[in-house]
A and B are shown apart, each in its own frame.
Chain A
Amino acid sequence: MKKRNTIKNLPLYLMMVPGLLYLIINNYIPLFGLVIAFKKIDYSKGIFKSDWVGFSNFVYLFKTKDAFIIFRNTIGYNLAFIFLGTIVSIIVGILLAEVTRKTVLKVYQTTILLPFLLSSVLLSYVVYAFLAGDAGLINSGILEKLGLEKISWYSDPKYWPYILIIVYLWKTFGYNTIIYFAMIIGIDKTYYEAAVVDGASIWKQITKITLPLLKPTIITLVLLSLGRVFHSDFGLFYQVPMNNGLLFNVTNTIDTYVFRGLMQSNDIGRSSAASFMQSVLGFLLILGANALTKKIDKENALF
Chain B
Amino acid sequence: MITNKKSFKIFVNVILSLLALFSVLPIFLVFMASITEEQTLILNGYSFVPQVFSLYAYKYILFSGNVILRAYLITISVTAIGTFVNLFLTTFLAYPLSKKDLKGRNIILFMVFFTMLFNGGLVSSYMMWTQIFHIRDTYFALLVPNLMMNAFNVIIMKNFFVNNIPESLLEAAKLDGATELQILNKVVFPLSKPIIATVGMMVGLAYWNDWQNGLYFLLMKTNLYGIQNVLNTMINNVQFLSTQAASQGGAAAGSLPSTGIRMAIAVIALAPVIIIYPFVQKAFVKGIVVGGVKG
Partner-B contacts on A (CB < 8 A) = 5-6, 9, 11-13, 15-16, 18-20, 22-23, 25-34, 36-37, 41, 43, 46-47, 92, 94-99, 104, 106-115, 117-122, 124-126, 128-130, 132, 134-137, 139-141, 144, 170, 173-176, 178-179, 182-183, 189, 192-193, 195-196, 202, 205-206, 209-210, 217, 221, 224, 234-235, 239, 242-243, 255, 258-259, 262-263, 268, 271-272, 275-276, 278-279, 282-283, 286-287, 303
Q: Is the CB of B231 within 8 A of A263?
A: no
Closest 10 CB pairs of A and B: A33-B124, A140-B45, A30-B120, A19-B93, A119-B209, A179-B292, A275-B121, A111-B20, A12-B96, A27-B115
Q: Is the CB of B1 within 8 A of A210?
A: yes
Q: Which of the residues A25, A30, A136, A272 comes within 8 Å of B119, measured between beta carbons?
A: A30
Determine how close the nearest CB of chain B comes to the CB of A253; give it in whole angstroms.
Answer: 12
Q: Which residue, of A119, A134, A174, A286, has the highest number of chain B Cβ atoms within 10 A? A: A119
Cα A118 to Cα B27 with chains together (Å): 9
Q: Is the CB of B2 within 8 A of A30?
A: no
- Which of the 9-residue segments B64-72, B246-254, B273-281 touches chain A? B273-281
Q: Which of the residues A20, A37, A113, A140 comes within 8 Å of B46, measured between beta carbons?
A: A140
Cα A110 to Cα B231 with chains together (Å): 26
Q: List 18 A-B contacts (CB under 8 A).
A: A19-B90, A22-B149, A29-B120, A30-B124, A30-B128, A31-B119, A47-B131, A95-B12, A95-B16, A99-B12, A112-B20, A113-B285, A115-B26, A189-B2, A202-B1, A275-B124, A283-B117, A303-B113
Q: Is the CB of B292 within 8 A of A221?
A: yes
B-side interface residues, number (CB < 8 Å)? 100
Q: Is the CB of B19 within 8 A of A19?
A: no
> Does B164 sit at the interface, judged by CB under 8 A?
no
Q: Is the CB of B1 within 8 A of A109?
A: no
> Does B289 sit at the interface, judged by CB under 8 A?
yes
Determine how close the nearest CB of chain B comes to the CB of A170; give it in whole angstroms.
Answer: 7
> Does B60 sit at the interface, judged by CB under 8 A?
no
**Total number of A-B contacts with CB less than 8 angstroms?**
294
Q: Is the CB of A114 within 8 A of B288?
A: no
Closest residue of B by beta carbon distance from A27: B115
Dominant secondary structure at the B interface = helix
Q: Which of the residues A9, A129, A224 comes within 8 Å of B33, measured between beta carbons?
A: A129
Residues of A within 8 A of B122 (CB): 255, 258-259, 262, 275
Cα A202 to Cα B9 with chains together (Å): 11
> Does B57 sit at the interface, judged by CB under 8 A?
no
